[in-house]
Amino acid sequence: MDESEITAKNDRKNRECCPVCLGKNFVPERKIRDHIDHSLFSVVHCHDCSVRFIVDPPSLGTIQNYYTNDAGIRMHKQGSGIHHRLRNLLLRDELKPLTKKLEPGSQIVDYGAGDGSVSKFLHDRGFEISAFDMYPQAEWLYPDIEYQQIDLNIPIPLFRIPGNEKITRAVVLRHTLEHLYEPAKILSIFRDTGVNYVLIVVPNYKSIMRPLLGGNWYYWDPPRHLHYFTERSLYCLAERCGYKLLETTTYAVDEVVTSLHRRMLLKNEETQTNLTRAVTRITDPKSPLAAISSVIASFFGNCIIHALLEKYKQT
């Protein structure tokens, strides 16, 4: 273990209020482990807005250490060809509530762009895209789409396309909001800079299978995932930040395949066998098996929350 890993484990902060509603009416719920280095984190339940969150996360200065591993690399790594094609089927349905609200050529920010799939999908349909994430420009795969490396927790002041005076009409937060230290602060910046619509896709804490999967539930992923949302907590977050919740839906059965991947990684190294290592490889979130599972599961269940927010009109 190098010095940065030791620092990351020892450098924790303790939250004194809920990051969604600012309330202090929260109670301990459970302990959960990082499946990469097995660090233990405490999850609490806010009774005021129903969000669950890690109450003892790494500090802003050290949390990046938890992304410099396979879990972080996987977020912006292209999957297999099958994974990419099947992902586009899901994106078509996920992005439709937003795209039908916008005129062709509208400015959209892909905030937490990951492997660029959302940016590419929207760009190919005639929207002007600006992508932001924390990894270097050299790792961005689409040179015809504007990309900027930033700390997602310290956003740039104005969300405008570089060199262009057109105000961003919408922001996509696809599996990004749960990673942000202060989600309310980020949404408030969007509001103040004229963003009319925010599309949010996050794991659903109220999933029917989360209790069955227990600590193996793939979407725990601490401390990269800092918050665990419900529809109610998203409503509270939107209202606090000057947005109204236009629509919200849930879909998909939990990623059983990727939860098996997490379970394999949670095993101690000394208990690993050739079989468990093989299962770990084939259940990787970017594997064809995971992609097929995602598409099949997308037709039923309630694993994922999909929400579209609209800024309240000024009177």
CA distance 28 to 242: 29
Is the per-residue pLDDT at 162 higher than 60? no
Alpha carbons within 13 A on the beta-carbon side of 161: 17
Q: What is the pLDDT of residue 192?
A: 86
**Count of residues in the chain:** 315
CA distance 120 to 132: 13
Q: Alpha carbon 160 to chain centroid distance?
A: 22
Mean pLDDT of the chain: 84
**How far from 257 is each of 43, 151, 213, 284, 289, CA to CA, in Å?**
24, 31, 11, 8, 8
Confidence class for position 77, pLDDT limits 50, 70, 90: low
Is the per-residue pLDDT at 89 higher than 60? yes
Confidence class for position 1, pLDDT limits 50, 70, 90: very low
Six token digits for residue 177: 């909001």
Q: Which of 20, 13, 70, 80 is nearest to 46 (CA)?
A: 20
Strand ranges in 93-242 using DSSP code E only, listed in sequence order:
107-111, 128-133, 146-149, 170-174, 197-203, 227-228
Higher pLDDT, 297 or 94: 94
H or E segment at 251? Answer: strand 243-251
Q: What is the pLDDT of residue 275?
A: 77
Contact 21, 45 (CB under 8 A): no
Q: What is the pLDDT of residue 311?
A: 94
Residue with token string 């609490």: 44
pLDDT in tens, 104-144: 889 899 999 998 999 999 999 999 999 999 989 998 999 99
pLDDT in tens, 251-276: 876 678 888 888 888 986 666 677 77
How does 243-267 read in b/e, with b if 16+ C-beta sit within 10 Å? bebbebebbbbbbbbbbbbbbbbee
Percent of the chain with pLDDT over 90: 51
SS3 assignment, position 144: coil
Is the per-residue pLDDT at 153 higher than 90? no
Higher pLDDT, 48 or 315: 48
pLDDT, average across residues 224-253 = 93
Domains and their CATH numbers in the chain: 69-311 (3.40.50.150)
Strand partners, 305: 202, 250
Q: Which of 79, 33, 39, 77 is nearest to 283 (CA)?
A: 79
Is the per-residue pLDDT at 290 higher than 80? no
Between helices 81-99 and 288-297, what is the axis angle to 10°? Answer: 30
pLDDT, average across residues 208-219 = 92
How much is the pTM? 0.86
Mean pLDDT check: name the lowest of 138-147, 188-197, 275-284: 275-284
Q: Which of 36, 119, 123 is nearest to 73 (CA)?
A: 36
Confidence class for position 7, pLDDT limits 50, 70, 90: very low
